[in-house]
């Protein structure tokens, strides 16, 4: 039997190829919408200059915290989301209220999917 209670409610979000400030903007926007394993005082930092840094956080989309709002980014940001179909779709809808979202790729499995998105500012610059 397939019920709404069986869907996976967490989404792992990975941010790459951007400044630590833009990564922080993405995580803060998501953090206003959903609880995560990231402490509010935690700020993404580059580990080694000249090398690509990857930031990862897990969000629980089952209990929304608040309303999303448009966010300004200095440059486009690439994110990857991995989780159950319902959870990833729900997070993608929320992201579309804060950013301009372009899907760049998707891989589907039996229970989960992996989606790569390109985010640009939700506020006209």
pLDDT digits (tens, 9 = 90+) for 87-107: 999 999 999 999 999 999 989
Which residues are within 8 A (CB) of 81 and not within 5 positions of it... i.e. 6 or more apart?
11, 12, 13, 14, 88, 91, 92, 114, 115, 117
Whether 5 shows a pLDDT value over 60: the answer reads no
Band of residue 50 on the pLDDT scale cut at 50, 70, 90: low
pLDDT, position 3: 45
pLDDT, position 113: 94
User: How many percent of the chain have pLDDT more than 90?
Assistant: 48
What region does 50 belong to: left with phi over 0, alpha with psi -120 to 50, or beta? left
Whether 2 shows a pLDDT value over 60: the answer reads no
Nearest-angstrom CA–CA distance, 46 and 53: 6
């Amino acid at each position: 039997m397939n019920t709404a209670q069986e869907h996976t409610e967490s989404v792992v979000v990975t941010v790459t190829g951007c400044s630590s400030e833009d990564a922080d903007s993405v995580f803060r926007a998501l953090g206003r919408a959903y609880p995560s394993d990231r402490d509010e005082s935690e700020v993404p930092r580059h580990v080694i200059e000249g090398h690509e840094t990857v930031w990862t956080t897990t969000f629980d989309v089952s209990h929304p915290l608040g309303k999303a709002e448009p966010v300004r980014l200095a440059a486009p940001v690439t994110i990857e989301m991995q989780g159950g179909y319902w959870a990833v779709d729900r997070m993608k809808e929320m992201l579309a209220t804060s950013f301009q979202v372009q899907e760049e790729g998707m891989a589907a499995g039996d229970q989960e999917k992996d989606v790569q998105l390109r985010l640009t500012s939700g506020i006209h610059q």
